[in-house]
Amino acid sequence: MLSTLDYILGPQHLANLQPTSNVNWGIHKSDHACLTVHIDESVERGCGMFRPNLAFLDCLHLRTRFVSDYEESILNMPQNWDPHKRLEFSKVMLRTIVAEYSNKYRKQNSDHIKAVRSEIDMVNRLKCNLLTNNPDPFPLIKLQMIDSDLDILNLKLDELLVIQTKLLAQRSRVKWLELGEK
C-alpha cells in the first residue's frame, strides 16, 4: 500500500533548516500512515505582542494617577509634530504607562499579602502566648476577640490571593497564547 503526500506547507525559513521526516505505518490499526517531521529550530523568539494587564484600573487611586500621568505626557508632546508622529508617541507613552502601573498594582498586591500574613503570624503568636502564659482566669473573651481578628485577617488574605490568582491566570493565558499550539 503506497500513498503520496503532495505538499508540506510551512514557512520558507524552516525549509532551509533541513527537516528530517519519517513515515510510520500501522498507527492504531489504521490504514493511514503517520508522517513525522522533525525541524531543529533554534531560533530565539522575542517577548511577543504587548498584552496589557488593566487590573489596576479597578484601584481608584492608581486609575486617577494613571490618567493624570498620561494626560501630562500628552500635554508635554511638542505641538509642531505631524499627526502620525503624535499618534505613535501617544501609543508608546500609553504602553509605557500601562506597564508601569500594572507593575505597581502587582507589587502593591504582593506587599499587602506579605503584610496580612505577618499580621496573622503576630496574632497567632499572641494567641499562643495568651493560652500558655495567662494568669487571667477568664481568657475566653480575649480568645474570642483574637479568633474574630484571625477570621477577618484570613478573609482579607483570601481576597488578596484571589486577585493574585487572577493576575497569574491572565499571565499564564498570555504565555499559552504566545507559546502554545496555534
Q: Hey, where are the domains in the chain?
A: 1-43, 54-179
The Cα 5–Cα 36 span in angstroms is: 12
Specify burial of residue 105 (Cβ count, 10 A radius: 0-12, 13-18, 19+). Answer: buried
Chain mean position to CA 179: 14
Assign residue 55 a region: left if phi > 0, alpha if psi is -120 to 50, beta otherwise? alpha
The Cα 120–Cα 114 span in angstroms is: 10
**pLDDT tens across 121-151, in order?**
888 888 888 777 766 666 666 778 888 888 8
The reported pLDDT for the residue numbered 1 is 46
Examine the pLDDT at 27 and tell me if it is beyond 70. no
Which grid coordinates are listed for 24?
510510520
Taking all residues of the chain, what is their mean pLDDT, rounded to a whole number? 80
In the structure, what pLDDT confidence band is assigned to residue 85 with cuts at 50, 70 and 90? very high
